[in-house]
Amino acid sequence: MRIRILSPNIKNISTYILTLLCIVKTSAQKADSLLYADEKHFKNVKQLTFNGDNAEAYWSYNDKHIIFQRKNEAENIDCDRMFIGTIPQNNEDSFVYKQISFEGRNTCGYFLPDGKHVIYASTYLGGDSCPPVPDRSKYGNRYLWPIYDTYDIFLADTSGKIIKQLTKTKGYDAEGTLSPDGKKMIFTSVRNGDLDLYVMDLATEKVTQITHELGYDGGAWFSPDEKKIVWRASRPKTPEEIADYKQLLSENLVAPTQMEVFIANADGSDAKQITHLGQANWAPNFTPDGKHIIFCSNYEYAHGFPFNMYLVNLDGTGLEKVSHSNGFDAFPMFSYDGKKIMFSSNRTSGGGYNINLFMADWVE
* Same structural domain, 270 and 347: yes
Integer Cα distance of 344 and 339 in angstroms: 17
* φ, ψ (nearest 5 deg) of residue 13: -60, -45
- The pLDDT score that the predictor gives to residue 48 is 97
Residues of the chain above pLDDT 70, percent = 91
* Same structural domain, 312 and 289: yes
* Same structural domain, 141 and 6: no
* Same structural domain, 222 and 289: yes
In a domain, residue 110? The reply is yes
* Same structural domain, 17 and 99: no
10 pLDDT tier (thresholds 50, 70, 90): very low
| Domain count along the chain | 2
Helix (H) or strand (E) holding 109: strand 106-111
- The pLDDT score that the predictor gives to residue 92 is 83
In a domain, residue 142? The reply is yes
In a domain, residue 245? The reply is yes
Q: Look at residue 66 and give its three-state secondary structure.
A: strand
What is the per-residue pLDDT across 264-321, written as a single tens digit (0 to 9) for each? 999 999 999 999 999 999 999 999 999 999 999 999 998 888 999 999 999 999 999 9
In a domain, residue 37? The reply is no
Given a cut of 90, whether residue 207 has pLDDT beyond it is: yes
* Least confident among 113-127, 134-148, 224-238, 310-324: 134-148
Q: Which residues of 216-245 are buried (b: 16+ CB within 10 A; e: fewer)?
A: bbbbbbbbbeeebbbbbbbbbeeeebeeeb
What is the per-residue pLDDT across 171-202, written as a single tens digit (0 to 9) for each? 999 999 999 999 999 999 999 999 999 999 99
- The pLDDT score that the predictor gives to residue 3 is 31
- The pLDDT score that the predictor gives to residue 32 is 61
Query: Which domain does 348 fall in, by range?
Result: 43-362
